[in-house]
Amino acid sequence: MPFKVQTFSERVEQKTDDTVKLKLAQACEAFTKLSTSKQKAHGIQELMDILDRELSEATRWEIMEACGRQCIGASVLEKARRFKNVSTDIDDLLDRLNQAHIGGGHLRREGNVIHASYDRCYCGSVSQSRGAFSDTYCHCSCGWYQQLFESLLDEPVKVELLGSILQGAERCEFLIRYQA
């Protein structure tokens, strides 16, 4: 799913002061004029650079996680819910999600922790980028996983980014913690 500058702008509007809003609004405006994938990836990195310079880690992550919650498609959530309805337990659900390649295809559980990983970057907006990206951007995937598993488990989950391909790791890796 491509980067949604409108969703990003809305989250920034809610979470930043006027000075940061102005800087990011100008960068978002410039982003809307970009046409090639390479230009857009560079534009996204510029947005992340502003976030990294101007905002606390917690606020940056909150903005990007909110974007990720919006990024997951309704059809993906509906398909995942159908799997939940026929699953015998959480391990069966994870197997079904893996078979459908929802969540990267590498979900496994240890106690109340789901380990998730991607073999490649699934973000079409930056996956072809050759430069390293701020880990701020990858918190979008944390929000994606939050939305998926909170919808399936009917409880809050905590998602931790362990590493990402955009930062030079071999895989994108996450821990998803829930209560059970």
Phi, psi of 52 (to 5 degrees): -65, -35
Q: Is pLDDT larger for residue 38 or for residue 96? A: 96
Look at the block and give the residue holding tokens 């590498």.
106
C-alpha of 124 from chain center: 12
More confident site: 145 or 39: 145
pLDDT, the chain, mean: 92
Distance separating alpha carbons of residues 127 and 118, to the nearest angstrom:
12
pLDDT of residue 135 exceeding 90: no
User: Cα dist. 48→36, 97, 115, 136 in Å?
Assistant: 18, 31, 26, 7
pLDDT of residue 128: 65
When pLDDT is cut at 50, 70 and 90, the band that residue 3 belongs to is: confident
- Multiple choice CATH, 5-177, 3.50.70, 3.30.70, 1.10.3470, 3.30.1380: 3.30.1380
Token pair belonging to 87: 């699953």
Global pTM exceeds 0.85: yes
* pLDDT of 32 above 80: yes
Mean pLDDT of 88-99: 98
Q: Is the pLDDT of residue 82 over 90?
A: yes
pLDDT range class, residue 130, cuts 50, 70, 90: low
Stretch (H or E) spanning 108: strand 108-110
